[in-house]
Each structure stands twice: as structure tokens, then as C-alpha cells.
Structure 1
Amino acid sequence: MKRIFLLIATNVAIMLVLSVVASVLGLDRYLTANGMNYGALLGMSAIFGFGGAFISLAISKWMAKRTTGARVITQPSNSAEMWLLNTVERQARAAGINMPEVAIFDSPEPNAFATGMSKNSSLVAVSTGLMQTMQQDEVEAVLGHEISHIANGDMVTLTLVQGVVNTFVFFLSRVIGYLVDSFLNRGNNRDSGPGIGYMVTVFVMQILLGFLASMVVAWFSRQREFRADAGGAHLAGKRKMIAALQRLKAAHELPSTLPKQMTAMGIREGGGVMALFATHPPLEVRINALQNAGSAVQ
């Protein structure tokens, strides 16, 4: 309920901010005087901006299982799966969340991710490569990192951030499109509505603003990774968390096999991603951050 309230409150706050800014600049009066329904655009921007982000969050577990082929462990078939379930259960209890679903997906790359609509309805999945190439202590730290993502509410936080930037992209691209079209058609009869200038400008601006929005979301994602590393160190131990990151760094030259939409949820990201668009900080930076952390993280 708290998360739903936060989603609604953020949506309302964004609409108020856009309304105030437009009013101060006189943009609302100009658009209304020139035939654009400013209020309808504002409402539609919020609905489409947050609606898409919220739907993605709602189906995130289903999508994760489908795209990675993750198999949820309902009945452990060996000692490794039993250990996996027991470790996640212990860490979830320590983090104060409900037991997540635990799954394994087939991939030679050492990786893991957490997803779900809320901290009490979530999924933690690890790759076969992670289980085969890492020591048990290192896997424990990776699980602690993912449990911390859930306990910190990172899935909802990033959804809110994505919803905010989506709203701005949708709104601004159409306002700019309308202004450009008005300039190109000044003196002409506007009864037929916006012309080709509007459509082309909206298309171009959504691409350009979308790139900027992606950088904003990626920056927030990188900050959440530092918090999850600290959480993993708290749940499993600082030494284990550092060892896990060092192991991942050694395997980092392997390309990520997670689907593109899942990379932000993984423990590491494949190479070749421009720094501003990377959802994870460089592994050496994360290792240094943990090594330089105070005594609160042991």
C-alpha cells in the first residue's frame, strides 16, 4: 500500500510541477490560445509515462522467467539447490522481507538478478555459470546483493524514476512539436490540426529526449548498485562481497547473456556499454567503494 501511494503521489507531484512551470512561462496560455488542449496533454503524459513503467513492473517476474528460461525451485533436487533455498530464506529473514521465489537459469556467464512488483512478491535468480564457477561464500554474497535490491525497494524506485522521465519526454516532445509546427504554419489556417512539422518534430524529440532520459535512469541505477553491494556485505560479510566482485571482474570479458531489458537487474553488466548509459558502475569502482567503506560494513 505504501508503494502504491508513493506511485500516485509522485504522479500527482510531476503534474503539479509541469503545471506550475508552464504557468510561470505562460506556455499553458499560449498553447491553449493556439488550439492545444494543455490539460489533456498533461494528463495523457502522466498516464502514458507512468502507465508503461508500472505495467513493466507488474509483469517483471513473468517477463524475467520467460526471457531467461529461469526454472523456479519448488522442490530442491540436489544439495546445491537446497543450500540456495536455505541461504535466500535466511537472508530474506534478516532483511525483513518475505521469502522470494528462487530460480536458476541456464547461462555460462556468472550472473544473477532480482525482480518483482514489491519486496514481498519478488524473484531471485542465479545462472548455472554462477553456481559452477564461484565459491559458496561468493555466491552467498551475490545473493545478499540481490536480496538487498529487493529490501531497498529498488525495482519500485527505478520504476518511479522511469515514470518521471517518461512523462517529461512525452510532454516536452509534443509541446516542442506544437511550437515548431506553429512557427512553420504561422498565418495559415490551423483548423486541420497539427501538420507534418508536428509529427516529425515529436518523432525526433522523443528519440533525443529518450536518450537523455536513459542517462538519468542509468545514473540512478548505478547509485542503487552501491547500496546493494553494501547490503550484500552486511548480509554475507564484506570479505565475501569483495571476493564475489573480484571473481565477476575476472569473468567480465565474457559478453552478458541476459536479455537487454534485464541487464539493469543483474549483478554485473556486459562490456561495451557507454559509461553514461551503463546501469552498473565499473566493477573496480564498486570494489574500491567497499574496500574504503567504514567499519559499519564488515
Structure 2
Amino acid sequence: MMRILLFLATNLAVLLIASITLSLIGFTGYMDAAGVNLDLQQLLVFCAVFGFSGSIISLLISKWMAKMSTKTQVISQPRTRHEQWLMQTVEELSREAGIKMPEVGIFPAYEANAFATGWNKNDALVAVSQGLLERFSPDEVRAVLAHEIGHVANGDMVTLALIQGVVNTFVMFFARIFGNFVDKAIFKNESGHGIAFYVATIVAELVLGILATTIVMWFSRKREFRADDAGARLAGTGAMIGALQRLQAEQNLPAQMPDSLTAFGIRSAKQSALASLFMSHPPLEDRIAALRQRG
């Protein structure tokens, strides 16, 4: 129920902000004065406003959504020796990475996982699962934390949001061009938009959206290699390899991370060859091989 409410609230916020933005810039529509042809410049503005609004709003509320969806408990005052060690380790790694210390939290999950999120690198959240803390050695936990700090220091959350915004913009843009072509050239509609425009636009958005997702996921996989490299620099290559090998040993355990946070975790479930195009993470064996080649 909470996820549905978050989804609805996010979409309402997108509509509200996009509508206000379009009003402020004097947007009057993306058809020409005669209402027959598309005004491509106005159409691009329309698509950019809606395309970026969604990704930017999601980025701005990412910490709040992560805490709600994973039931992460932020450590404000360490109560145990393990929490104290966790806070000290994150503080040390953050200092070495040159960023402000993020919020630190623990979320209740048996799977070994961790994630980092936040709208900028000096206002982030790093959280680890209870299962990871219980089963991984201190060096392995430190390496996982270093990997997540690497994501924050590299600005991956912001970059991914911007890429998603660009992709959203062009999916909407070309889908509406296709819809207009079908409506005017095939169904010979002379004014405004007929039903063919809306049907063709929806179909084009679905197809282009699938293709666009492969682009976003390709970038997501690339940033995992960069975060592994940062983890190796901060915690040691051996420790980073050891942590990934432990994750590999537990790969068949069911994933409990919400879908909205999968791209920000350190692991993802195994996928088929076709589904690998839509994976947010490279195979663990590839990541381990890349670290071994690093030396």
C-alpha cells in the first residue's frame, strides 16, 4: 500500500511541477497556429519538462523513499559496538573519498546487500542490510561500504537521473512525431489529434521505452565497475574481491531490495542472456575479473 501511495504521490508531483513550469515559460501547446502540424521546438520543450521533472523529483525524494521502502533505521546515536564501528568506518571512508559523511542506516533484510542514494554527494544515505552485517567479515563489510561511498563520490545518482531525463525526453518526442505521422499521413486527419495519434503514440512510447531502458541499464552497469574500482582504492583490491565473492556465494538467495532501489544496491539477481540487457549490475564474475586485472 505504501509503495502505491509513493508512486501516486510522485506522479502527482511531476504533473504539478511540469504544469507550473510550462505555464511560467509561456507554453501554449506543440501544434502550429493552424492546429495541423507539430511545432517541433515547442514539442521538445514540452517533452523535456515532463521528461526531466520525473527523474529530478525522484532524485530529490530518493532518500526519503529509500528509508520508507526498505524500513531503513538511520543511526543517529550508535547504541552498540557494531553500530559504532559502522559509523566510524563510513566517516573514515568518506573523508578519504573527499565527501561529507552521509547518513548511515541499517535495513532489516536477510540478504546481503547495501545501497547509496541521495540528491547530491554531500547529502547522501548509505545503508547496509542486517544480513550483510551478520555474515560478512569486517574487511568485507568495509569493502561494501567503500563501494557505496564510491557511488556517492562519483555522483552516480545525479548522473543516472540526468541520463534518465534525457532518455524520457526523446522517447516522448519521437513517439509523438510517430503518432502525428500515423494520424496525418495514414488516417488523413486534417486538424488536431485523432484517436490514431494517441494509440500510435502509446505504442511508440512502449517500444522506444524498452529500447531506452537498455541504454540506461548499460550506463548503470558501467558505473558499477567504477564503484568497484573506488572500493578497491579505499578498502583494498583483495577486500573488494573478497566481498564480491561472498556476494557470489549468496547469489541464489532471493533478493529483497525494492525494484526502485535495485540499481543502487551492490548486487542484483541472476538473469538470462536476454534479460541481461536490462540488468542494472554486471555479472559478479565479470566484476571480480575486472578487479583482478586491475591488480
Q: Distance in 2 between matches of 1:29 and 1:139?
A: 56
Letter in 2 for 1:200: V
Deviation at 1:263, TM superposition (A): 0.2
User: Is 1:233 aligned to residue 232 of structure 2?
Assistant: yes
Q: 1:74 corresponds to which residue?
A: 76
Q: 1:194 corresponds to which residue?
A: 193
Q: 2:213 corresponds to which residue?
A: 214
Q: Distance in 1 between matches of 2:195 and 2:265?
A: 42
Q: Distance in 1 between matches of 2:157 and 2:45?
A: 24
Is the alpha carbon distance of 1:246 and 1:184 closer, same or farther for their aligned partners in structure 2, counting shifts above 3 Å? same
Provide structure 1 residue ranges, at least 5 long, that are not aligned to the other structure: 1-27
Q: What SS is found at the alignment partner of 1:292?
A: helix
Q: Distance in 1 between matches of 2:50 and 2:263?
A: 22
Give CA-to-partner distance per residue, 1:176-230, whole Å, 9 cap, x none: 10011111232x5x23x11111011111111111101110000000000000001
Task: Give the alignment partner of residue 99 of structure 1, picking from 94, 98, 101.
Answer: 101
Letter in 1 for 2:105: A
Letter in 2 for 1:291: R
User: Is 1:37 aligned to residue 35 of structure 2?
Assistant: no
Letter in 2 for 1:287: I
Q: 2:88 corresponds to which residue?
A: 86
Q: 2:58 corresponds to which residue?
A: 56
Letter in 1 for 2:203: V
- What CA RMSD, in Å, does the superposition of the two structures yield over aligned residues? 1.8
Give TM-score scaled by structure 2 length: 0.86
Letter in 2 for 1:225: E
Q: What SS is found at the alignment partner of 1:125?
A: strand
Q: 1:251 corresponds to which residue?
A: 250
Q: Distance in 1 between matches of 2:31 and 2:124?
A: 46
Q: What SS is found at the alignment partner of 1:113?
A: strand
Q: Distance in 1 between matches of 2:146 and 2:50?
A: 35
Deviation at 1:46, TM superposition (A): 0.7
Aligned residues: 264
Q: Distance in 1 between matches of 2:138 and 2:262?
A: 23
- Check the 8 A contact 1:184/1:197 in 2, yes or no: no
Q: 1:9 corresponds to which residue?
A: none
Q: 1:267 corresponds to which residue?
A: 266
Give TM-score scaled by structure 1 length: 0.85
Deviation at 1:31, TM superposition (A): 11
Deviation at 1:133, TM superposition (A): 1.0
Q: 2:222 corresponds to which residue?
A: 223
- Equivalent positions of 1:123-142 (< 5 A) are 123-142=125-144
Give CA-to-partner distance per residue, 1:220-269, whole Å, 9 cap, x none: 00000000001001000010000000000000011211010100000001
Q: 1:3 corresponds to which residue?
A: none
Deviation at 1:275, TM superposition (A): 0.5
Q: 2:281 corresponds to which residue?
A: 280
Give CA-to-partner distance per residue, 1:59-101, whole Å, 9 cap, x none: 0000000000000000111000000000000000000000100
Q: Distance in 2 between matches of 1:246 and 1:276?
A: 23
Q: What SS is found at the alignment partner of 1:118?
A: coil
Deviation at 1:35, TM superposition (A): 2.8
Give CA-to-partner distance per residue, 1:128-187, whole Å, 9 cap, x none: 01001101100000000000000000001111110110010010101110011111232x
- Check the 8 A contact 1:32/1:38 in 2, yes or no: no
Q: Distance in 2 between matches of 1:285 and 1:31?
A: 55
Letter in 2 for 1:282: P
Q: Distance in 1 between matches of 2:181 and 2:124?
A: 44
- Check the 8 A contact 2:32/2:39 in 1, yes or no: no
Q: What SS is found at the alignment partner of 2:112?
A: coil
Q: Distance in 2 between matches of 1:250 and 1:207?
A: 36
Q: What SS is found at the alignment partner of 1:76?
A: coil
Task: Give the alignment partner of residue 167 of structure 1, picking from 155, 166, 169.
Answer: 169
